[in-house]
């Protein structure tokens, strides 16, 4: 090859793709900013009621975090804080286990999403935190004696209906009685003589 056809490259610029961040550096250190971003991107999936419930869950948690830790810094959100929050919901706010599990599901999804964007210093704060166990619902149906009484009443009603049909069938056949009409209460009117 002839000299001059090859250019010597002395300074090579290495281009490193710049990862686009969803939040500025300052806002990355605020759970309020992360929760707002989460609700704008992920929280909109579902109905208005679901959105309102998620928003309420996150607001309640943020209030607890700021009261407990005095900050909304993401690295203050730890597993132990999540457990304390669940106890707070149960004992102080007297939330039902179903409501607490729904709140935990919201926190799980949100913390996983944030952790994928900005890893928590101590790891995902909702990992390995189980749902509360739910008691079997209390039976609100009939008691055994009420079932027995209802069954007896139903049998008596069926017997009375059958007996009425038989009696009136005999009156028709043997004595010439005829059903003339049915009143608004559902009772039949019969005409004839004994």
Q: Mind listing the pLDDT tens digit for each residue in 2-49?
A: 455 555 545 554 444 444 567 888 888 999 999 999 998 887 777 889
Query: Is residue 125 a part of any domain in this protein?
Result: no
- CB distance 114 to 34 below 8 Å: yes
Query: Is residue 20 a part of any domain in this protein?
Result: no
Please list the alpha-helical segments (H only) found in the chain.
31-41, 48-69, 79-87, 97-117, 144-175
Q: Do 32 and 113 belong to one domain?
A: yes
Q: Do 158 and 94 belong to one domain?
A: no
Q: Which residue has the higher pLDDT, 17 or 79?
A: 79
pTM of the entire predicted model: 0.60
Residue 147 has pLDDT above 80, yes or no: no
Q: Do 95 and 44 belong to one domain?
A: yes
Q: Do 85 and 154 belong to one domain?
A: no
Query: Is residue 107 a part of any domain in this protein?
Result: yes
Q: Please, what's the b/e burial string for 157-189 (b: 16 or more CB within 10 A of its CB; e: otherwise)?
A: eeeeeeeeeeeeeebeeeeebeeeeeeeeeeee
Domain end (from 102, 117, 132) = 117
Which SS3 state, helix, strand or coil, does residue 191 take?
Answer: strand
Structural domain harbouring 185:
144-191
Q: Do 112 and 161 belong to one domain?
A: no
Burial class (CB in 10 A: 0-12, 13-18, 19+), 43: buried
Between 71-75, 123-127, 175-179, the lowest mean confidence (pLDDT) is in 175-179
Q: Do 93 and 38 belong to one domain?
A: yes
Residue 1 has pLDDT above 50, yes or no: no
Query: Is residue 109 a part of any domain in this protein?
Result: yes
CB atoms near residue 121 (< 10 Å):
10
DSSP annotation of 88 reads I
Domain count, the chain: 2
Average pLDDT, the chain: 81
Q: Do 58 and 112 belong to one domain?
A: yes
Query: Is residue 69 a part of any domain in this protein?
Result: yes
The per-residue pLDDT for range 149-185, each reduced to its tens digit, is 777 888 888 777 787 776 666 656 666 656 666 666 6
């Amino acid at each position: 090859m002839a000299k001059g056809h090859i250019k010597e490259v002395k300074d090579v610029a290495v281009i490193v793709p710049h990862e686009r961040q969803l939040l500025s550096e300052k806002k990355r250190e605020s759970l309020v900013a992360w929760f707002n971003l989460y609700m704008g991107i992920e929280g909109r999936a579902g109905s208005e009621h679901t959105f309102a419930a998620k928003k309420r869950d996150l607001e309640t948690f943020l209030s607890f975090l700021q009261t407990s830790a005095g900050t909304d810094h993401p690295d203050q959100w730890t597993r132990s804080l999540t457990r304390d929050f669940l106890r707070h919901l149960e004992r102080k706010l007297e939330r039902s286990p179903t409501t607490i599990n729904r709140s935990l599901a919201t926190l799980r999804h949100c913390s996983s999403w944030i952790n994928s964007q900005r890893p928590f210093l101590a790891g995902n704060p909702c990992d390995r935190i189980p749902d509360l166990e739910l008691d079997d619902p209390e039976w609100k149906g009939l008691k055994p004696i009420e079932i027995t009484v209802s069954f007896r009443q139903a049998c008596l009603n069926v017997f009375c209906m059958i007996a009425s049909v038989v009696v009136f069938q005999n009156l028709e056949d043997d004595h010439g009685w005829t059903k003339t009409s049915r009143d608004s209460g559902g009772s039949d009117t019969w005409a004839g003589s004994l």
